[in-house]
C-alpha cells in the first residue's frame, strides 16, 4: 500500500506539473495518459496552422468574387428581390438609395485551375493552383467587434477561448522553447485609422491561462518583459536562476507542493525563450532571394511581410498556431484607393509565404488560412462616381481561402448570386469553417470541449458541419 | 474533471475501483450529477429539445414513461438502455460522445433498486441549520464530523509565523511587517482573536475583500466593446471598499447595488452603489444597431445577477429553456425586464455621470454656490442710481440699431476648425456655432487652442466687416469656462492666381475691450501669442462685435473669401457662436462704443418708452446691467466665480449610476434569442418561477423587489452562494467547487451540512460578513498546517475535506502589493481614480477610436495597490493578465490559478519588480547595519517573515559575492541596473554593492514561497 501511495504522490505531482507547464502535452492531450478522451481523434492532415486574419473585412467582389454582370446595373438601386429585407448597419440604413457599384478592377484566370482573381492580387494569382477559395462564407454578426470575436471564438460574447487557445489546449505544444500560440499584428496602409483589435481575440477565456496567445510585439521586446533589465547579462541571469532554483527546490523538499517544481520549470522555459525568441526574429541569415520574394517591407519589423516571414520561421520551429492580424480593410468610402494599399501590403508576402512553405516541404503539414470577419455590399456607401465608391458591411456572404495541408488545390468552393449578396450554393458558416480547421488538425470539433457554467463549451457552439467539399 | 482523472490514475496504478459506491445512494450527491451531465440535455427541462417525450428530471414522468420501475432495475428501460450492446439503443447515444463509467452504471442500478427516490436539487431546498453542541466552533464540529465519517483526522495547528502571514494575506492582502511578527509572536489565549480583530479594522481589509467582488460584478474602467473608451465608475470601486470596511450588511449592500436609486432615503452612497447596473459592456461602434445592443445589455445584466448573487447560469436560458436547471426563457426575459427602466444611451458614449463628492468636496461646493448666489443677488438687485446712465445708453443703443440696417449678413459656405478641438458648424440661420469636442482630452494635439476657417462671399463694394460674438449660451459668448474668448488674429484672404491673397484691413475696433486685450491686436499679424488678442471679460453676458475696416472696397462679389480666426489663448478661449456681416457704407467703419443689442432688446428700444410693458422694462434693465461700466467689476467677479464653479464641477469625481426612467423599454421574449424577431410575447418584470417568492399584486415589480427577494430568507441561493465563495477565499476551493453554478451541472457541496449551516448563520446574523469571516478564521480548520501527509494526499488529494489547510499562489493584484510592500514602496492610500503604473510602450497600439498611448503616472500613482491599476478591458495590464486577472468582460466567480513562463518574465523584468528589488536592496543596505550574513538574514525576515536556513544564507551570500565581483569589474552595469524605475538612488550607497544586493532581493521576490500563501 505504501508503494502505491508513493506512486500516487508521484503521479499527482507529475500531473499537476504537466498541467502547469506550457510544455509538450496540452491539458486535454494529457488526458490520453489518463484514459480520458484524447486528441488527435484521427490522423491529422495538418500539424500546425497559420491563420492570416484580414481585419476590417476585405471586399470580396473586388478581390475574389467576379461579377461582370454588374456593369450593366451600374448605379441602379439594389433590387428588393436581392436585399430581401435584410437589416443594414446604421451607417447606410438611412441612405436614400443603394446604387450598385461594380468593381473597378479587372479579373483574369490564373494557373492551370483557371481561378478567376482580381488584378489587385497578382501574387496570389501566381499561387492560384495551391489555394482553395471559398466564395460562400457567411456569418451572423454585422459589426466588427462582435463579428471578429465570433470568428475567433465561435461566440459574439466576449470572454470565450480563441481558436488558438483551443488548439493549444487540445493538442499541446510541439516546441519546448516557444509558446504554442503566437500572434502578430500589423497596420494597413490602406486605412491606417482602422478597426481596433482586442486581447480577447487570442485570449484563453475560461481555459487555463497558459493557452492564451502570446502576442509578438512590433517594437521593443518581441515578447513582453523578455529582456533582462539593463545591467544584467545572461551569465548573471543564469546564476540568479540557479540560486533561485536551489532555494525553490529546498522549499519543495520541505513542503512537497508540486506547484513549486512547476514554477522552477516555468523559470527555465522563460530563460529558454530569452534565446529562442531573439533567434527566431533574427532574419539576418535569411538568403537574399528569400527576402526578395517577400518584398521590400520584409526588412521593416512589424509589417505584414515581416510577420509572414516570421510565420514561416515559427512554422519551421513547429509552433502549433500562428496567427497574423492585418488591420485596415474596412473601406466604407474611398475603397479603390484603400484596397490598393491593403493589397500592396499583403499580396506579395502572402504568396511568398505559400511558396516558401512549399519549397521547404512545410506546406504538406501546414494549413494556411486567409480571410476576414465578413463581406461587403455590392451597393455603394456614399456617392458612387467614376473612380470612387465605398462598401458597407455584409455578413451574408464573403470569400476566404485556404492552402496547404489537407485542402484541395486550385479549387473554388461555393457560389454567390449575381450581386454577390446571397449564397446560391454550398454556404460555409463560420462554425463550419472552424469545425473543418479542427478536423484538419486531427480534432473532432464536438469532442474538444471544456466544462464551463454547466455546459460542455466548444469552439463551434452547438453547430458546425465539416466542409467535405474542400478536403483533398 | 480533476477528480475523475485522478480516479482513473488510481485504478490504473493500483487496480482500485475509485471510491466505493456508497451503501445508501443519495439522489443529489450520487445520481443527479450523472443524469444531468448525460441525460438532461435531451430528457430534461427544455421542452424544445426533448426526445421521445421522456423527462428524467421529474420522478413521476420517468415512472410514467416506464424508464424507471422502482426496486426493479432489471425492468427499468433506463437500465436496459445503459447496459445494452446495441448501438442503436445505447444511452447516451454514441454520437453524443458521452459514456457512462461502470461505477456510474452501478450507481444508477443501485439507486433504482433502492426505490429511485428523488430529491429536489440541493440548492433549491431551504438550507437547514444543523444543531451544534454547546461550546463547539460550529465549523470545526461539522468539518470534523465529516472527517470522522471518512476516516480522516484534522491536522495540527500551524505555527504563529504561518498564521500571522496567512491572516495578513487573507484579510489584508499584504504581508506582515517584522514588527507585526514581534507583536503577534504568541497567539495563545485571546491573542489570536485580537489579531483577527485588529486586521479587520484595517482600511486595507476592504481593499482585500473588494478584489473578488469586483471580479464578480465585472468592474472595469472601460466600456469593453470596440473603441473600449473609458466610463466613469471608480467611485463605485471605492464604494465597495468602504462597504467592506464598514461591514455593511450584505442585504443592504445588495439592495444598494441593484436599486440604490429606488431605496427610500436614497443618497449619494446608495446611488453610487447602483453603478453596479452600469458596469456592463457597451459600444460606440459606428453602424451598431440599437436593438442588437439593447438585447446584449439585457442579457448581460441577467447573467450578472445569476452569477454574482444566485450562482445560476441564467445565460443558458437566453435562447431556450435551460437544459439542466428549471430556468425558463420566460424567467430569463422577465428578469431582464427589471432593468428596463434604467436611463442610459444604448449606443455611444456614456454620460459623465453623477458628481460624487466627499465631505471636503461638499464643503467646497457649498462655499462656491453660496458665493455665487450672493453675487447673482447683488447683480440682480434694482439699481435706481443707474437710471440716468441707462437712458443715455438706450438712446445710443437705439442709434446703433437704426444704423445697423446698413449691414448685410454673410452666408457662410464652409466652417471648419483646424485642430478639431472645437466642432464647428455653419447653421442654416447663417450663424457659425462651435462646440468643444468631447474626445479632445484623449487627443495628443489638444492644447486647448484652435483656429476657425470660415468661407463666404462679400458683396461688391464692401468696405467693412462685422463679426458678432453672440450670447446664446451660458456662461458667456466664449467657450472658455469663464465665458470669455481671446481672438488672436483675424485675416481675410481670397484665392487669386492659385495663391491666397490677403485683403488688407485698415482698422479694427470693438464694442467692448477687456483691459490689455484691445481689438487692434486682431490685425497686428501676430496669431500665436497667448496674451495678444481681443478679449471681452467683464462683458461676456451680451453680444460683442468686432468691426474691421477694409483698406479698399472689395470688388469681386464672386470670390470666395476665407476668414481665418486664430485663438491662441489655451483653455479653449474660442468664440461660441458667431455671425459675419458686411457693409458697403462709406468709411470710416467704426464700432459704436456700445454693444449692438440683441433682437429682442432692439425691438423694445424701438418701442417708445411710455409704451413699454413692465417685463420689457425689466428686460432692458437686465440688458443694461450686462454692459454698464459701473458694474464691470461685479460682472468680472461673477464670471470668475461662475468659472470656479464650472472648473470645480468639471474636475469633481463622477460616476455613472442608475437613474430610473418613467418610460421603460419594452421587453419581449426573443425567440431563439434573436433580436430581429419581434414576434415574442411582451413581458413584465417577474421573479423566477422555480423559486419561492412573495406575492405582489396591484403593481409592477421594480429592481427594489428583485434586490429584496435576492436577500430574503426564503431565497435558498444567495446566502449559500456568498458563503461558498467566501470559503474559497480562506481555503482555496469552494465547498461546492464550481463557484458559478450551484445548479444541476455544478457540484453538490462536499459537506452540505457545513454550507447550509454557514448560509443559515449568515442570514441569522443579519447578513454580517465580518461575523462569518471571524467564525471561519478562528476555527481550527482554518488554523491547520497546509502541509500534507502521504495518507492525506492519497485520501483527499485536492484537500476538499479540509483535514488541513491549502497553499496557493497570491492573486495577481496581491503579487504586486506584496513586492511593493517588502520593498517599502507601497503607497497605502485607499481609493481614488485608477492609476497607471509602468506598462510597456505601445501595448495599446491596436486600440482605436481614438488611438491612445498609456502614460505612466508619476509619483505615488506608480506605487499603489494592484486593485487601483487602470482596468482596460480589451488590453488589461500585462502583469495582471499574466497572473490570471480576468478581463472583466463577463462576471467572473473564479480565476484560473496558472503557473506560466510569463509570470517568471514579469517578476524578473517588469520595471515595477526590478525597481522593487533595487529599493528593497537599498533598504537592506541602509536599514540593517550588519555584516552581509546579518543583512541577508534581515532581508529574509522582511520578505518571508522567518529566519533563513543555514543553506539559504550560504546560497544568497554566494550569489551576492559573485555579483559584487562582477559589478566591481563593471561599474557601468551597476549604474544601468539601478536606473530602472523612478525612485532615485540614495547617493550615499556604493553602487556595485547595491546592484549585487539587488540580485539577492530579486531572488527573494521571485521565490515561490514569497508569492504563496500557505
Give how far the C-alpha of residue B142 lies from the chain's centroid of Cα atoms, to the nearest Å.
39
| pLDDT surpasses 80 at B18 | no
Do B315 and A453 make contact, defined as CB atoms within 8 angstroms? Answer: yes
Is B225 in Cβ contact with A203 (below 8 Å)? no
Same-domain check for residues B62 and B142: no
Mean pLDDT of chain A: 90
Q: B420-465 pLDDT, tens per residue?
A: 889 999 999 999 999 888 666 555 556 788 999 999 999 999 999 9
Cα–Cα nearest to B619, from B394, B431, B375, B388: B394
**Residue contact B898–A209, C-beta within 8 A:** yes
CATH 3.40.720 residue ranges of chain A are: 39-219+301-470
- Whether the per-residue pLDDT at B997 is higher than 60: the answer is yes
Q: B890 vs A90: CB contact, 8 Å cut-off?
A: no
Q: What is the CATH number for B110?
A: 1.10.760
Percent composition of chain A: helix, strand, coil (DSSP 3-state, to 5): 40, 20, 45
What CA–CA distance (Å, rounded) separates B570 from B486?
9
Same domain, yes or no, for B883 and B920? yes
Instruction: Return the CATH number of the domain spanning residue range A39-219+301-470.
Output: 3.40.720
Q: What are phi and psi of B280, to 5 degrees?
A: -65, 175
Nearest to A63 by CA among A303, A294, A340, A304: A340
pLDDT on residue B442 = 53
User: Nearest-CA distance from A40 to chain B in Å?
Assistant: 15
Task: Give the confidence band of A257 by pLDDT, cuts at 50, 70, 90.
Answer: confident
pLDDT at res. B776? 98
| pLDDT for position B443 | 52
pLDDT in tens, A201-220: 999 999 988 899 999 998 88
Contacts of residue B965, defined as CB under 8 A and 6 or more positions apart, other chains included, come to none
Nearest to B67 by CA among B89, B96, B49, B47: B89
User: Which phi and psi (to 5°) does residue B292 adopt?
Assistant: -60, -50
Test the A interface: residue of B224, B902, B913, B917 with most A CBs within 10 Å: B902
Among A16-20, B210-214, B567-571, the minimum mean pLDDT is found in A16-20
Per-residue pLDDT for B586 more than 80? yes
pLDDT of A274 above 70: yes
Contact assignment for A451 to B745 by CB distance below 8 Å: yes
Mean pLDDT of B259-279: 97
**Best of A229, A272, A307 to disrupt the B interface by mutation (most B CBs within 10 Å)?**
A229
From chain B residues 823-862, the ones with a CB under 8 A of any chain A CB are 840-843, 845-849, 851
Percentage of chain B exceeding pLDDT 70? 97
Angle between the N-to-C axes of helices A234-255 and B950-969, in degrees from 0 to 180, rounded to the nearest 10: 170
Residue B831 has pLDDT above 70, yes or no: yes
Residue at B814 is within a domain: yes
Q: Report d(CA B16, CA B663) in Å as an integer.
A: 65
User: What percent of chain A is modeled with pLDDT above 90?
Assistant: 77
pLDDT in tens, A100-134: 999 999 999 999 999 999 999 999 999 999 999 99
pLDDT score of A32: 39
Q: Is A43 on the interface with B (CB under 8 A)?
A: no
- Residues B913 and B863 sit within 8 Å (Cβ to Cβ): no
- Of the partner residues A6, A196, A263, the one whose CB lies closest to the CB of residue B227: A196
Domain assignment present for B633? no
Burial class (CB in 10 A: 0-12, 13-18, 19+), A298: buried
Between B10, B848, B896, which is nearest A195 by CB? B848
A90 at interface of B, judged by CB pairs closer than 8 A: yes
Residues B801, B762, single domain; the answer is: yes
More confident site: A311 or B626: A311
Instruction: Tell me the CA distances in angstroms from B892 to A26, A230, A336, one per residue in order.
Output: 24, 38, 45
Write out chain A residues lying below 8 Å of B956, CB-based: 243, 247
pLDDT for B877-900, tens place per residue? Answer: 999 999 999 999 999 999 988 999
Q: Looking at B560, B593, B626, which one is the last position of a domain?
A: B593
Choose the weakest-confidence range: A392-396, A425-429, B787-791: B787-791
B283 touches chain A (CB under 8 A): yes
Residue B607 preceded by cis peptide, ω within 30: no
* Chain A contact probe: residue of B40, B809, B904 with most A CBs at under 10 A: B904
User: Are B743 and B732 within one domain?
Assistant: yes
Nearest CA in chain A to B791: A5
DSSP one-letter string for A170-233: HH--S-SSS-SEEEEEE--SS-SS-----GGGG--TTS-GGGSPEEEPSSS-SSTT-SPPTT--
- Closest residue in B to A200 (Cα–Cα): B874
- For residue B548, being part of any structural domain is answered with yes
CA distances from B814 to A225, B657, B1006 (A): 19, 29, 14
Contact of A116 with A108, CB cutoff 8 Å? yes
What is the radius of gyration, based on Cα positions, of chain B?
A: 37
Length, in residues, of chain B: 1014
Is B111 in the same domain as B127? no
The per-residue pLDDT for A11 is 44
What is the Cα–Cα distance from B770 to B788, expressed in whole angstroms?
29
B987, three cell numbers: 547617493
Residue positions counted in chain A: 472
CB–CB contact A145 B1 (8 Å): no
pTM of structure: 0.86
Q: Mark whether B126 and B50 lie in a shared domain.
A: no
Confirm whether B581 is domain-assigned. yes
Q: Say if residues B755 and B736 touch (Cβ distance below 8 Å).
A: yes
Tell me: pLDDT of B7 over 50. Answer: no
Number of neighbours of residue B229 by Cβ within 10 angstroms: 22
Same domain, B1011 and B867: yes
User: Is the Cβ pair B793, A243 closer than 8 Å?
Assistant: no
Which residues in chain A are contacts of B905 at CB distance < 8 A?
Answer: 223-226, 270, 273
Tell me how close the Cα of A367 comes to any Cα of chain B, in angstroms: 26
Tell whether B977 lies on the interface with A, counting CB pairs under 8 A.
Answer: yes
Q: Which residue of A has its CA nearest to B324?
A: A454
Domain that holds residue B43: 19-119
B75-79, B332-336, B606-610 — most confident range: B332-336
B291 touches chain A (CB under 8 A): no
CA distance B256 to B271: 7
User: Residue A126 corresponds to which cell in the numbers above?
Assistant: 501566381
**Hey, are the CB atoms on B1012 and A259 less than 8 Å from each other?**
yes
Please say which residue of B807, B825, B852 terminates a domain: B807
What is the rounded CA–CA span in Å between residue B689 and residue B695? Answer: 12
- Which of B1, B903, B977 is closest, CB to CB, to A229? B977
| Per-residue pLDDT tens over the stretch A4-46 | 333 344 444 444 444 444 334 455 544 433 333 478 999 999 9
C-alpha closest to that of B998 among B908, B927, B886: B908
Contact flag B1-A451 (C-beta cutoff 8 Å): yes
pLDDT > 80? residue B80: yes
Measured CA to CA, the distance from residue A464 to residue A434 in angstroms comes to 7
Looking from the CA of A123 toward its CB, the CA atoms found within 13 Å total: 17
* Cβ contact, residue pair A7, B13, below 8 Å: yes
Q: With contacts defined as CB-CB under 8 Å, which chain A residues touch B5?
A: 15, 31, 34, 36
Q: Are B917 and B793 in the same domain?
A: no
- Please count the structural domains in chain B: 4
Same domain, yes or no: B848 and B796: no
Note whether residue B63 is domain-resident: yes
> Residue B324: CB partners within 8 Å, gap ≥ 6?
A454, B36, B40, B41, B44, B45, B316, B743, B744, B745
DSSP 3-state assignment of B548? strand
- Nearest by CB to residue B887, choosing from A143, A196, A200, is A200
The reply to whether residue A223 touches residue B224, judged by beta carbons under 8 angstroms, is no
Residues of A in contact with B900 (CB under 8 A): 20, 22, 209-210, 266
Query: Across the interface, which of A87, A158, A447 has its CB nearest the CB of B889?
Result: A158
Residues B499 and B535 in one domain: yes
- Smallest CA–CA separation between A115 and chain B, in Å? 34
| Cα B271 from chain centre | 15
Q: Within a domain: residue B319?
A: no
Considering Cα of A145, then A151, then A155, then A161, what sign does the dihedral take? Answer: negative
Average pLDDT, chain B: 92
Residues 572-601 of chain B with CB under 8 A from chain A are none
In this complex, which of B840, B909, B1008 lies closest to A263 when CB atoms are compared?
B1008
Cβ neighbors of A403 (< 8 A, separation 6 or more) are A127, A130, A131, A132, A354, A363, A367, A368, A370, A409
Same domain, B411 and B543: yes
- B230 phi and psi angles, rounded to 5 deg: -70, 150
Span A267-296, average pLDDT: 95
B767/B834 same-domain check: no
Question: Among partner residues B6, B904, B978, which is closest to A266 by beta-carbon distance?
Answer: B904
| pLDDT in the model for residue B745 | 86
- Reported confidence tier of residue B326, pLDDT bands at 50, 70, 90: confident
Of the candidates A73, A70, A75, A66, the one whose C-alpha atom is nearest the C-alpha of residue A389 is A75
DSSP state of A134: E
Task: In whole angstroms, give the CA distance from residue B413 to residue B862.
Answer: 51
Residue pLDDT, tens place only, A394-404? 999 999 999 99
Q: Per mean pLDDT, which range of A169-173, A358-362, B863-867 is the poorest?
A: A169-173
pLDDT of residue B439: 64
Task: Give the up-direction half-sphere exposure of residue A300: CA atoms within 13 A in the CB hemisphere.
Answer: 10
Find the mean pLDDT for residues B476-491: 92
Judge if the upstream peptide bond of residue A140 is cis by omega within 30 degrees of 0: no
Cβ contacts of A246 on chain B, cutoff 8 Å: 955
Asked whether residue B522 is domain-assigned, the answer is yes
Q: How many CB atoms lie within 10 A of CB B954?
A: 14
How far is residue A182's CA from residue B122's CA, in Å, rounded to a whole number?
A: 44
CA nearest neighbour of A325 among A303, A358, A341, A293: A303
Encode pLDDT of B922-980 as tens digits. Answer: 999 999 988 999 999 999 999 999 999 999 999 999 999 999 999 999 999 999 999 99
Domain closes at, from B593, B609, B629: B593
C-alpha cell at B427: 447653421
CB contact under 8 A, A225 and B1008: no
Identify which of A158, A193, A208 has the shortest CB distance to residue B890.
A158
Cα–Cα–Cα angle for B72, B73, B79, rounded to 5 degrees: 150
With CA atoms as reference, report the closest residue to A141 among A130, A133, A152. A152
DSSP H or E segment with residue B273: helix B268-273
- Residue B685 confidence (pLDDT): 97
Residues of A in contact with B952 (CB under 8 A): 247, 250
* pLDDT at site B829: 97
Q: Is B281 on the interface with A (CB under 8 A)?
A: yes
Amino acid at each position: 500500500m505504501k508503494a502505491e501511495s508513493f506512486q500516487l504522490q508521484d503521479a499527482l505531482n507529475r500531473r499537476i506539473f504537466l498541467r502547469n507547464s506550457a510544455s509538450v502535452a496540452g491539458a486535454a492531450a494529457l488526458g490520453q495518459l489518463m484514459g480520458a478522451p484524447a486528441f488527435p481523434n484521427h490522423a491529422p492532415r495538418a500539424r500546425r496552422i497559420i491563420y492570416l486574419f484580414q481585419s476590417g473585412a476585405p471586399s470580396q467582389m473586388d478581390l475574389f468574387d467576379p461579377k461582370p454582370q454588374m456593369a450593366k446595373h451600374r448605379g441602379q438601386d439594389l433590387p428588393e428581390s436581392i436585399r430581401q429585407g435584410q437589416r443594414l448597419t446604421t451607417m447606410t440604413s438611412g441612405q436614400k438609395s443603394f446604387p450598385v457599384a461594380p468593381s473597378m478592377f479587372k479579373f483574369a484566370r490564373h494557373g492551370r485551375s483557371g481561378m478567376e482573381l482580381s488584378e489587385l492580387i497578382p501574387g496570389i494569382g501566381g499561387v492560384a493552383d495551391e489555394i482553395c477559395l471559398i466564395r460562400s462564407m457567411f456569418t451572423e454578426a454585422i459589426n466588427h467587434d462582435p463579428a471578429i470575436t465570433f470568428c475567433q471564438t465561435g461566440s459574439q460574447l466576449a470572454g470565450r477561448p480563441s481558436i488558438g487557445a483551443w488548439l493549444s489546449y487540445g493538442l499541446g505544444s510541439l516546441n519546448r522553447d516557444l509558446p504554442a500560440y503566437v500572434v502578430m499584428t500589423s497596420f494597413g496602409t490602406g486605412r491606417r485609422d482602422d478597426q481596433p483589435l482586442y486581447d480577447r481575440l487570442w485570449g484563453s477565456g475560461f481555459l487555463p491561462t497558459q493557452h492564451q496567445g502570446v502576442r509578438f510585439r512590433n517594437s521593443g521586446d518581441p515578447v513582453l518583459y523578455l529582456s533582462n533589465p539593463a545591467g544584467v547579462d545572461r551569465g548573471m541571469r543564469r546564476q540568479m536562476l540557479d540560486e533561485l532554483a536551489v532555494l525553490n527546490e529546498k522549499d519543495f523538499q520541505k513542503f512537497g507542493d508540486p506547484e513549486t517544481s512547476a514554477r522552477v520549470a516555468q523559470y527555465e522555459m522563460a530563460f529558454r525563450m530569452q534565446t529562442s525568441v531573439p533567434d527566431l526574429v533574427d532574419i539576418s541569415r535569411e538568403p537574399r532571394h528569400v527576402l526578395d520574394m517577400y518584398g521590400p517591407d520584409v526588412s521593416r519589423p512589424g509589417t505584414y511581410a515581416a510577420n509572414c516571414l516570421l510565420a514561416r520561421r515559427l512554422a519551421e520551429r513547429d509552433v502549433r498556431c500562428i496567427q497574423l492580424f492585418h488591420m485596415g480593410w474596412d473601406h466604407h468610402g474611398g475603397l479603390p484607393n484603400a484596397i490598393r494599399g491593403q493589397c500592396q501590403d499583403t499580396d506579395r508576402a502572402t504568396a511568398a509565404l505559400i511558396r516558401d512553405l512549399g519549397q521547404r516541404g512545410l506546406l504538406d503539414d501546414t494549413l494556411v488560412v486567409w480571410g476576414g470577419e465578413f463581406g461587403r455590399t455590392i451597393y455603394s456607401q456614399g456617392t458612387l462616381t467614376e473612380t470612387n465608391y465605398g462598401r458597407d458591411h455584409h455578413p451574408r456572404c464573403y470569400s476566404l481561402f485556404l492552402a496547404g495541408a489537407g485542402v484541395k488545390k486550385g479549387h473554388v468552393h461555393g457560389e454567390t448570386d449575381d450581386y454577390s449578396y446571397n449564397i446560391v450554393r454550398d454556404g460555409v458558416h463560420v462554425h463550419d469553417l472552424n469545425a473543418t480547421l479542427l478536423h484538419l488538425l486531427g480534432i473532432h470539433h464536438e469532442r474538444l470541449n471544456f466544462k464551463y457554467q454547466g455546459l460542455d463549451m466548444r469552439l463551434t457552439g452547438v453547430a458546425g458541419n465539416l466542409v467535405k467539399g474542400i478536403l483533398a | 474533471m480533476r477528480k475523475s482523472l485522478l480516479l482513473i490514475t488510481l485504478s490504473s496504478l493500483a487496480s482500485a475501483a475509485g471510491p466505493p459506491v456508497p451503501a445508501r445512494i443519495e439522489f443529489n450527491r450520487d445520481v443527479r450529477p450523472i443524469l444531468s451531465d448525460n441525460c438532461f440535455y435531451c430528457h430534461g427541462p427544455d421542452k424544445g429539445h426533448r426526445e421521445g417525450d421522456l423527462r428524467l428530471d421529474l420522478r413521476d414522468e420517468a415512472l410514467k414513461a416506464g424508464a424507471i420501475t422502482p426496486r426493479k432495475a432489471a425492468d427499468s428501460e433506463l437500465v436496459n438502455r445503459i447496459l445494452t450492446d446495441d448501438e442503436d439503443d445505447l444511452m447516451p447515444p454514441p454520437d453524443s460522445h458521452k459514456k457512462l463509467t461502470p461505477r456510474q452504471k452501478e450507481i444508477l442500478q443501485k439507486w433504482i433498486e433502492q426505490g429511485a427516490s428523488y430529491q429536489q436539487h440541493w440548492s433549491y431546498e431551504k438550507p437547514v441549520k444543523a444543531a451544534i453542541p454547546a461550546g463547539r466552533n460550529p465549523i470545526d464540529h461539522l468539518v470534523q464530523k465529516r472527517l470522522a465519517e471518512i476516516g480522516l483526522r484534522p491536522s495540527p495547528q500551524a505555527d504563529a509565523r504561518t498564521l500571522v502571514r496567512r491572516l495578513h494575506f487573507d484579510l489584508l492582502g499584504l504581508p506582515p511587517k517584522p514588527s507585526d511578527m514581534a507583536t503577534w509572536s504568541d497567539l495563545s489565549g485571546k491573542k489570536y482573536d485580537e489579531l483577527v480583530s485588529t486586521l479587520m479594522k484595517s482600511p486595507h481589509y476592504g481593499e482585500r475583500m473588494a478584489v473578488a467582488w469586483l471580479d464578480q460584478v465585472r468592474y472595469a474602467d472601460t466600456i469593453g466593446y470596440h473603441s473600449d473608451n473609458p466610463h466613469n465608475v471608480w467611485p463605485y470601486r471605492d464604494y465597495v471598499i468602504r462597504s467592506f470596511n464598514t461591514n455593511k450588511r450584505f442585504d443592504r449592500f445588495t439592495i444598494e447595488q441593484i436599486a440604490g436609486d429606488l431605496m427610500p432615503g436614497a443618497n449619494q452612497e446608495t446611488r453610487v452603489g447602483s453603478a453596479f447596473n452600469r458596469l456592463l459592456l457597451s459600444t460606440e461602434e459606428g453602424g451598431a444597431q440599437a436593438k442588437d445592443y439593447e438585447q446584449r445589455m439585457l442579457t448581460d445584466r441577467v447573467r450578472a445577477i445569476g452569477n454574482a448573487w444566485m450562482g445560476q447560469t441564467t445565460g443558458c436560458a437566453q435562447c431556450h429553456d435551460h437544459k439542466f436547471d428549471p430556468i425558463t426563457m420566460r424567467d430569463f426575459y422577465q428578469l431582464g425586464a427589471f432593468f428596463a427602466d434604467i436611463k442610459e444611451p444604448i449606443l455611444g458614449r456614456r454620460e459623465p455621470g453623477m458628481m460624487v463628492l466627499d465631505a471636503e468636496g461638499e464643503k467646497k461646493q457649498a462655499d462656491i454656490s453660496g458665493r455665487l448666489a450672493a453675487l447673482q443677488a447683488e447683480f440682480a438687485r434694482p439699481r435706481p442710481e443707474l437710471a440716468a446712465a441707462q437712458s443715455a445708453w438706450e438712446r445710443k443703443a437705439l442709434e446703433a440699431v437704426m444704423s445697423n440696417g446698413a449691414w448685410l449678413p454673410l452666408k457662410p459656405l464652409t466652417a471648419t476648425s483646424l485642430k478639431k478641438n472645437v466642432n464647428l458648424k455653419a447653421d442654416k440661420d447663417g450663424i457659425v456655432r462651435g462646440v468643444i469636442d468631447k474626445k479632445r482630452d484623449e487627443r495628443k494635439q489638444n492644447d486647448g487652442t484652435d483656429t476657425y476657417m470660415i468661407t463666404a462671399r462679400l458683396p461688391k463694394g464692401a468696405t467693412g466687416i462685422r463679426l458678432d460674438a453672440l450670447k446664446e449660451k451660458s456662461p458667456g459668448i466664449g467657450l472658455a469656462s469663464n465665458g470669455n474668448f481671446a481672438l488672436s488674429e483675424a485675416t481675410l484672404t481670397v484665392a487669386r492666381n492659385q495663391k491666397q491673397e490677403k485683403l488688407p484691413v485698415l482698422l479694427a475696433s470693438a464694442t467692448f475691450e477687456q483691459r490689455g486685450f484691445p481689438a487692434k491686436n486682431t490685425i497686428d499679424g501676430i496669431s500665436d501669442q497667448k496674451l495678444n488678442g481681443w478679449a471681452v471679460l467683464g462683458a461676456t453676458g451680451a453680444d460683442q462685435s468686432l468691426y474691421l475696416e477694409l483698406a479698399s472696397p472689395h470688388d469681386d462679389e464672386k470670390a470666395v473669401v476665407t476668414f481665418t480666426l486664430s485663438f491662441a489663448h489655451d483653455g479653449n478661449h474660442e468664440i461660441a457662436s458667431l455671425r459675419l456681416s458686411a457693409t458697403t457704407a462709406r468709411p470710416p467703419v467704426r464700432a459704436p462704443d456700445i454693444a449692438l443689442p440683441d433682437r429682442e432688446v432692439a425691438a423694445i428700444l424701438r418701442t417708445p418708452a411710455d409704451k413699454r410693458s413692465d417685463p420689457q422694462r425689466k428686460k432692458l434693465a437686465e440688458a443694461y446691467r450686462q454692459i454698464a461700466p459701473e458694474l464691470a467689476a461685479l460682472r468680472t467677479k461673477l464670471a470668475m466665480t461662475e468659472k470656479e464653479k464650472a472648473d470645480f464641477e468639471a474636475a469633481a469625481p463622477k460616476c455613472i449610476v442608475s437613474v430610473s426612467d418613467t418610460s421603460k423599454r419594452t421587453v419581449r421574449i426573443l425567440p431563439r434569442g434573436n433580436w430581429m424577431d419581434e414576434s415574442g410575447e411582451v413581458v413584465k418584470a417577474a421573479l423566477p418561477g422555480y423559486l419561492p417568492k412573495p406575492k405582489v399584486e396591484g403593481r409592477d415589480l421594480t429592481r427594489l423587489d428583485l434586490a429584496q427577494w435576492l436577500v430574503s430568507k426564503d431565497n435558498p441561493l444567495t446566502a449559500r452562494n456568498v458563503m461558498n465563495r467566501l470559503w474559497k477565499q480562506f481555503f482555496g476551493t469552494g465547498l461546492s467547487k464550481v463557484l458559478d453554478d450551484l445548479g444541476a451541472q455544478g457540484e453538490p457541496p462536499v459537506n452540505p451540512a457545513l454550507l447550509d449551516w454557514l448560509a443559515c448563520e449568515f442570514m441569522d446574523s443579519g447578513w454580517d460578513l465580518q461575523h462569518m469571516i471571524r467564525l471561519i478564521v478562528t476555527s481550527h480548520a482554518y488554523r491547520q498546517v497546509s502541509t500534507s501527509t502521504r495518507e492525506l494526499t492519497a485520501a483527499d488529494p485536492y484537500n476538499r475535506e479540509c483535514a488541513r489547510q491549502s497553499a496557493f499562489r497570491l492573486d495577481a493584484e496581491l503579487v504586486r502589493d506584496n513586492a511593493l510592500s517588502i520593498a517599502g514602496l507601497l503607497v497605502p492610500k485607499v481609493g481614488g481614480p485608477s492609476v497607471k503604473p509602468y506598462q510597456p510602450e505601445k501595448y495599446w497600439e491596436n486600440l482605436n477610436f481614438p488611438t491612445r498611448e498609456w502614460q505612466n503616472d508619476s509619483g505615488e500613482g506608480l506605487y499603489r495597490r494592484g486593485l487601483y491599476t487602470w482596468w482596460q478591458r480589451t488590453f488589461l495590464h500585462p502583469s495582471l493578465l499574466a497572473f490570471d486577472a480576468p478581463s472583466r468582460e463577463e462576471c467572473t466567480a473564479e480565476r484560473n490559478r496558472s503557473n506560466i513562463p510569463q509570470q517568471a518574465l514579469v517578476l524578473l523584468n517588469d520595471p515595477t519588480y526590478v525597481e522593487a528589488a533595487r529599493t528593497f536592496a537599498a533598504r537592506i543596505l541602509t536599514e540593517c547595519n550588519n555584516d552581509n550574513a546579518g543583512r541577508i538574514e534581515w532581508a529574509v525576515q522582511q520578505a518571508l517573515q522567518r529566519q533563513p536556513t543555514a543553506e539559504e544564507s550560504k546560497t544568497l551570500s554566494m550569489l551576492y559575492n559573485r555579483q559584487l565581483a562582477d559589478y566591481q569589474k563593471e561599474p557601468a552595469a551597476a549604474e544601468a541596473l539601478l536606473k530602472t524605475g523612478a525612485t532615485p538612488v540614495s547617493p550615499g550607497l556604493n553602487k556595485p554593492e547595491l546592484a549585487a544586493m539587488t540580485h539577492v532581493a530579486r531572488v527573494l521576490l521571485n521565490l515561490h514561497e514569497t508569492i504563496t500563501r500557505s
